[in-house]
Amino acid sequence: MGAVRGWLLAVIAASLLCALADALMPQGAVKRVGKLVCGLVIMAAIVSPLVDLDVEESRRWLEECLTGVELRAAELEDTVGGQRKAIIERECAAYIVDKAAELGWTCTARVICEPGEEGLYLPVRAEVSGPLPESAQVRLSEILSEDLGIPAEAQLYSKEEMP
């Protein structure tokens, strides 16, 4: 921040000196040459930080910034992915409970999702608990296979309630 302050002060000082010189110069060729010189002085003050620019250090700083941004993006992607997974699991479990209720049965459900080929979370396992008769389990198993794509072997049914 000190370098920016010093640069800004140099530009302001050069501008003030040029304004003072312009006010004191006589009309004519001297004034035109004086304006040219003042313009060059102000331009030199503006571009003076480029003389001290360390390209290698700037490149390292930029790489560090980009690495930090990439790490933060990966963290955010993981956080969003975890939240998305939880929402999909919760919605699929609610869907199972609703389907069972439509058929006249009461149960609780838990669904496990894993990322698919495109990175989307897909339900791969379901745990259903409650006092479901065998016929209800068969019908619910068909619904889960057809609607959610959960194979019958990845469906677990128990009579005991889940914690």
Is 163's pLDDT higher than 80?
A: no
- Condensed to tens digits (0 to 9), the pLDDT of residues 66-80 reads 999 999 999 998 899
Task: Give residue 110's domain range.
Answer: 85-158
Would 73 be classed as within a structural domain? no
CATH number of the structural domain spanning residue 103: 3.30.300
- Say how far apart CA 82 and CA 16 lie, in whole Å: 59
pLDDT tier, 31 (very low <50, low <70, confident <90, very high otherwise): confident
Residue 59 counted as domain residue: no
| 31: Cβ contacts below 8 Å, ≥ 6 apart | 22, 25
Q: Determine, yes or no, domain membership for 79.
A: no
Q: Which pLDDT tens digit goes with each residue over 144-153? A: 999 999 999 9
The answer to the question of residue 44 being in a domain is yes
- Cβ atoms of residues 150 and 144 within 8 Å: yes
- What gap in Å lies between CA 42 and CA 49, rounded to an integer? 13
20 occurs within a structural domain: yes
Query: pLDDT (tens digit, 9 = 90+) per residue, 36-53?
Result: 999 999 998 888 887 777
Work out the mean pLDDT of the chain and round it to a whole number.
88
* Whether residues 142 and 92 fall in one domain: yes
Residues 93 and 151 in one domain: yes
Tell me, yes or no, whether 35 and 91 share the same domain: no
Cα separation, 35 vs 12, whole angstroms: 16
Number of domains in the chain: 2
Residue 68 located in a structural domain: no
Backbone dihedral angles phi then psi of residue 52, each to the nearest 5 degrees: -90, 5
Examine the domain organization and report whether 89 and 154 are in the same domain.
yes
Q: Give first-to-last CA distance, the chain, whole Å.
A: 58
Residue 87, pLDDT score: 95
